[in-house]
A and B are shown apart, each in its own frame.
Chain A
Amino acid sequence: MKSFKTCAALGIALALTACSGDHDKHDVGGTGQDVAPQVNNAGPVPGSEADLVASAGDRVYFALDQNQISGEARVTLDKQAAWLARYPQVKVLIAGNCDDRGTEEYNIALGQRRANAAREYLESKGVNAQRISTISYGKDRPAVDGDSQDAWAQNRNAITSVR
């Protein structure tokens, strides 16, 4: 239970970090890909990660073993491209992820394939390639805990975060 509380506390810290526009992600050990949408009266800082989440959505999902951009994903990525056009100084990191029904090593490559697919789509919508970097966590940074079909579907994703 102790570690769960720590996790909850960390979640709050992450949300505050996102709100303040401080992007020193190393303090929280990763990419900020688990930043939750933060709603308050002031609204998210324009151009911030929270703004990206609220305005466009930060993640797209993939079918089992696939890296095709679905129609639903296209809607999200179109919004991300429009948002990135509004904030041309912002750089993003796209992290590809997989469910845990593949081997660790194959999934690292598969996650990268998903991140690349999202990157290529954004580039095709006019986002400068220099503004996008990619990474894959394979199955090691699941967005959702648990081993249900629903959890796996949510863990097959590419998550865009502000660098």
Chain B
Amino acid sequence: MSFFSNKEAEALKAHFSRRSLLGGLAAGGVIASPLRALAQGNGASSPEITVANAHQAPIPIIVPDFGPGVGQRIASVIAADLGNTGLFQILPGEVPPNVQPDFRALKARGARAAVAGTVVESGQLRVEMRLWDVLVGQQIQGTAYTAPVADWRRIAHIIADVIYQRLMGEEGYFDTRIAYVARTGPRRRQTTRLAIMDQDGMNPHMLTDGRWLTLEPRFSPVSEEIAFLSYAQDRPRVYTYDINSGRQRMLGAFEGISFAPRFAPHGKAIILSATTSDGGADLFQVDLTSQQRRRLTSSPGVIDTSPCYSPDGQQIVFNSDRGGSPQLYVMSASGEGARRISYGAGHYGSPVWSPRGDVIAFTRIHQGRFSLGVMNPDGTGERILTEGFTVESPSFAPNGRALTFCRQSEAGAGGAGFTSTIGVIDVAGFNEHILPTATGASDPAWSPKRR
């Protein structure tokens, strides 16, 4: 008996192959090498263009096809990556590869930058890419990439990252993935699977079989591991999942439910929440090697949950109802000096510290409606980015520029009209869009940059 529809089942089957997942992972990566400069400028030493307030003026850039077939597909992925940020305006047009382009002609087409590329397919893919600064009239990047043909999407994401980095002055986030919970079946009893996809929603893979309720995946900052909450054997506990081997391991030995895991920035420990017999939940740090745990909070009957380290590992933001309602608190990494930082109307939850360290994203619930916002770590400067019936579980892109989150719609009688989707939004609160997923989806967690 199936918990999900035929259409969903087909989608799942297509995405269930571990072989294809491993093929993509074990490919040995993409090898990049510099291209000989065509003009006088050398790509490696030329200055980067940095644009302030870029979201007010997207950078016009020409991204032509890199040739027919896979060359066309690679170019369209690059254009989609850049265009989806809202920071670039993708212009159509041709740019000849292997020669210096006519900068005056490109300028006349309104371009500020231009890409040119070729693809040679002979057993492997060899993709050559050059990035031209149209205003200055010089090459600012020239690189050749070689990789197995199956990795063509990864090459495209890596090229998009290089373009983003050269033009924005900060690292891109396109060669990344999102772990999430795939949801199928009726709302009252959804089948949930740990799943992973590229940051643009492509290449989805189901990592668990859906037998047990599965929630809250979180990426390791240093390894191909995901921490998550599994209800295996009806004993909800935090597990780690090794993406390459598929091995699962329960983390620590807790009497109550252990949940809400987050990796420490160095990746060697996890902080989590564990329920206590007095009706509360306390925060613990668990060492991944020794499995030893250290208690960080212990307020009788109080719920402390959703802990998240600051990127320097010195502080922890968390959710607590110690003051009577769920609010946000910041304390030292050793659990001392907790002070409340959320003071707006309503309840707050699921805080997550930006990898830049400058803001904390959160979920706020007021009069039955959810909103997603950011505030400074001292609680000042609260800004709401988006709102809806349910918007929650924010997770930052590795450069802190964008957030992914879960958006769910209000359900009518019998659950009619219920949808659960994964959104992405710029940290400035614009350019919100929904990622394509074959099933319902929730609990997104953005990976670090791939290696």
Q: Which residues of A contact B (CB under 8 A)?
A: 2-4, 6-7, 9-10, 13, 25-26, 29-31, 34, 65, 67, 93, 100-106, 108-110, 112-113, 116-117, 135-137, 140-148
Contacts and interface: CB of A to CB of B under 8 A. Distances in A.
A34 to B, nearest CB: 7
Interface string B172-199: 0000000000001111111110000000
A51 to B, nearest CB: 22
B349 A135 contact: no
B365 A102 contact: yes
B236 A29 contact: no
Interface string B329-353: 0000000000000000001011000
Contacts of A117: 279
Contacts of B277: 116
Interface residues of B, number: 63
8 closest A-B pairs by beta carbon, nearest first, are: A103-B349, A145-B415, A113-B279, A109-B281, A109-B303, A112-B275, A105-B260, A7-B186
A2 B257 contact: no
Nearest to A112: B275
B381 to A, nearest CB: 22
B218 to A, nearest CB: 11
A145 B188 contact: yes
Contact of B363 (A25, A34, A103, A143): A103
Nearest to B390: A100
Contacts of A3: 3-5, 8, 184-186
B365 to A, nearest CB: 6
Nearest to B259: A108
Interface in B183-228: 184-192, 211, 213, 215-216
27 contacts: A2-B6, A3-B3, A3-B186, A6-B1, A10-B3, A13-B1, A29-B189, A29-B191, A30-B189, A34-B189, A65-B325, A93-B234, A102-B347, A103-B392, A104-B215, A104-B442, A105-B305, A105-B319, A106-B305, A108-B275, A113-B280, A135-B231, A141-B189, A141-B213, A143-B188, A145-B414, A147-B412
